[in-house]
Structure 1
Amino acid sequence: MVTIWTPIFPLLCSSTCLIGVLSGYAIAASLDHVLPWLPIISEGGVLIPERGVFGTFLNFSGLFWFFNGICLYIHMKDYLQKHSPKLKLRYMLYVMLFIVVESSFGFTFVANFQVHHGLLIHGIGAAMMFYGGLIYFGCYVAFSLKHRLYTSLCLTVVRLVLIVPTAVFVCLHKLFLDTPVIVPAVNGTVPFKPHKKVDGIDRIAFGEPWWYNHFISASSEWIATFLFLFIIATLAYDLREMYVTFNLYDHDPRKVKKRAESSIIDQNGKSTEKEDTKSEEKGSKTSWETSN
């Protein structure tokens, strides 16, 4: 008998992603693969050895995000079946399940396609991960506000407050990444962004015209990532009473059937345990007689 405490999935999703991001940055900066202040997060997963660490932990994070989405789907579905079985809102759960699965694949795209070889797929994966996750959070908050008893109202408000700046920082990152918003003119002309090196890493040093633009883009991405992972971690509270149990040893369907029958209560409210006991004794007697 194996029992899994489901809040472990959002916690593992946040922690593994955070470990991958920070370790990738630390290794890359220590080996002088990136400038210490402040690279784009994905640049910590371009070169060896940081690429292996970055990709491995992000793949695990995507897997745990996938499991978390399934557990939340089951949890919300059970809640609706108990409290509002005829409410059409249950169809929204299928959309949310699709979005969270799509977002989990975004994690793997970011992990396995680096910016220097698979920039297009890497960018698509980042959009799937962030935008898909934010849409999912928005739907989840709407569900929580519709059903006030589903989770803590204070926690729902906190999530709602965090979703807005997270979306803003994601947009700032994309805006300042390649657009010269605050790039000062040189000799009356705004310089083009320096071409990426062969390894795909932007090494824009302090004092260069594009440095402030790059700094805002990179810092916005880091802040958005921390907020995003924090929101994921808060989902553990909603799953705190949900467990998944697997029976790895008892594969006899007759025993499973007997246990199911013994838990049935008849219409008069009387337990059928006595009848089950008699049937078990009769079955054991029959099997003994047959063997002899």
Structure 2
Amino acid sequence: MYKKFLLYVFYTLLLLTTRPGRATILKLATWNVEWLVSQKDTQNFPIPQDVNLRQSADFKMLLHYGGKLQADIIALQEVGSIETLNLIFPKDQYLFYISKDPIAQHTALAVRKNIFKDIKQNSDLTELSHIDRFRPLRSGLDITLYTKQSSMRILVIHLKSGCQDYPLDRPKLKPSCILLKDQQPIIQKWIQNRVKEKQAFIIIGDFNRVVSPQDLFFKSLSNIDLYFPTAYKANPCWEGNYFIDGFIIDPNANKWFLPDSLRVMKYKEQSNDAQNKLSDHCPVSVKLLVP
């Protein structure tokens, strides 16, 4: 109770010391929606035979949780199309951006309307997709959000799966770890460019890697002090594990981060059947006080 009181005082002081109309508390979330594809999407992009397409009732459940999330910015992974994304996030409330990958799984971003002065979709970080010679992976979705006083660059990623905690410094790596390791310098270069521009940024999404600043993958991303809100924390989603979904926040954006705002929205339904209909990932969120 005392801790909550201190947080209330902290947030109040932040708002009082910021001139009216100059700062907004924003909820930023990431959600891997696990093969959010429709029948129409499958006509454009092939999907594995063992993927079960969701039924109307499943989309209604996801719509319920999308509304319950009440996030202002949602990074999404495994999205078939914007049209399908509209089934769980209403288009009268959100603006939508999606990568241009020629596959069924896209990175995407939903942004609540009437918050930002301008939004720019930059070129996809396609290098993340091209590291596999045999089939394309997922590109990073690169978006710049502009307020009246500042800007923030968002990179939505969904990295190579199959190497959640295997040590990357071993002389012999399994193929999935080789591909994941090859994605690291691509993100590193993207960060270097943002640092040169003095641009506040957040990398958000499904890292498919246990997020830890001491892990080789994350440790050498940059010589600036990156912040990982989910590091060393257990994710209560389904049976629980360490976070592979999360955020990398640079020092400029970290000034806006509200302490103790990390949340995971668990599903009320907990059966295996429900997991197949909802997602094997739960939405993860933080809050920012953005000028």
TM-score, structure 1 length as denominator? 0.23
**Relative contact order, higher structure (CA 8 A, sep 6+):** 1
Please identify the structure whose Cα radius of gyration is greater.
1
> What TM-score do the two structures reach when normalised by structure 2?
0.23
